[in-house]
Amino acid sequence: MTKTDERTVLVVDDEPAHRLMVRAVLEDEGWTVADAPSGDKALALLAKTQPHVALVDMKMPGMDGLTLMRELHARMPGLPVVLLTAFGSVGSAVDAMKQGAFDYLTKPADNEELKAVLEKSYEYRRLIEENARLRAQRPDLGGGIIGSSPAIGRVRELIEQAGPSEATVLILGESGTGKELVADGLHRASSRSRKPLIKVNCAALPADLLESELFGYMKGAFTGAVKDKPGRFQLASGGTLFLDEIGDMPSHLQAKLLRALQEKIIEPLGSVKPVETDVRVLAATNRDLRADVASGRFREDLFYRLAVLEIAIPPLRERLEDLPLLTGFLLRKLGQKNHKEIRAVSPAFLEALSRHNWPGNVRELENVLERALILARADTFGPDLLPPQLAALVSSAACTVPGDLHGALLPDSAHTPQHGLESAMDDAERETLVRALDSFAGHREKTADALGISRRTLQYKLKKYGLTKR
């Protein structure tokens, strides 16, 4: 085993005989073992050993296992901690998992079970580190759009294909679906990514102000114009101009925009001298522009200039399979914003989310989750935190499922405690892989990219779940 492949485990137990037994078993498996008889001594070893996994006894004199686990997580976020507990204290170990423990074993630990749990812990840590490395190396071409559904996979594929081009793109979707995120992704994937991305909401400004904002004006063009002011076209020079709610643009400005797209020139208010522009234009709307063209409300020639390529974002109600991923992502984001952490979401909570029609799409989901986060008195979400109209959709109470919400579907309400956490999470991970593979017609590289893992890791997962022939 090379140095880069070295796996280190920190074993903390006040019983010398048990530490010695664990060391012998794990060193035979190629692990590097650092051990300590107490929490204080374990923390002193931490910086020097940089373990991949920690195996911690729950009951120790002085600092107990839970306290040590919290200290380890504070100093090494993402470190998987496996707890050792007496048979009669299994309930306490399950509670500890809700507080962030990766897994638990009863003492004396079975050698094969010990090796399997630590291997799984190591793989978990390695995936976290690999995901972080990949995100640091590669821009998020998906623009932060979360989901593994086929519809979202298609959106990501179009961003990847259209991003490097100079084509204008029309982004379609209901309010709250994430049209601005698609524009972000297109800009990042383009050769203009080092230049500005300037955004204008065409519905938020009166017609006269919108004209001056887009095209700029010269000193004296109107009362109050005491000096020249460049417009958004000029500010976005070399970069991208994103025109949100383009369907609300007044007709006389549609003509000026058409000329800017066709001839690459603009005329600031009060000027008779055209100004050349070098801007890629992206546009978005929640309106049916084809219907507006048919009714004469929107210029047909401008529509075809804007819609060289169309990217349609599906409403949330048409991709409910993405709800667990979206919920996990939004809870982490909102938790950071509100200085609060949620470690578990009950299946009853997720069931209610899946039964709602989501007229406000992802924006409405974020509103519901932030409300629940603020009202939560513990680190677990239950249906009691839902607004009344969603709480009424819960068909029955369900068990709480602990675990990290990132990167995998949470088990649904069909999973009951007797299945066990490990089985439930494995089922969820397998289903995520199956859906992702189906989304990309079995294409391994695209599937791995969509899931944010390497092809090697994907192959390992496919073999683990008997999916290699898909």
The domain locations on the chain are 3-137, 150-314, 317-464
Out of 3.90.1010.20, 3.10.450.50, 3.40.50.2300, 3.40.50.10540, which CATH number does the structure's domain 3-137 have? 3.40.50.2300
* 317-464 has the same fold as 3-137: no
pLDDT of residue 289: 95
pLDDT of residue 89: 63
pLDDT of residue 313: 95
Query: CA of 223: how far to CAs of 152, 219, 226, in Å?
Result: 49, 9, 8
pLDDT of residue 226: 81
Written out in words, the top-level CATH class of the domain with range 150-314 is alpha beta
How many other C-beta atoms lie within 10 A of the C-beta of residue 395? Answer: 10
pLDDT of residue 428: 57
- Does the 317-464 domain belong in CATH 1.10.8.60? yes
Mean pLDDT for back-to-back runs of 10 residues, the chain (470 residues): 67 92 92 93 89 92 90 86 76 72 84 89 77 51 72 91 95 94 93 92 90 90 84 93 96 94 92 90 96 96 96 93 86 87 75 88 94 83 84 53 34 33 52 74 77 70 78
Cβ-contact 58, 96 below 8 angstroms:
yes
State pTM to two decimals: 0.58
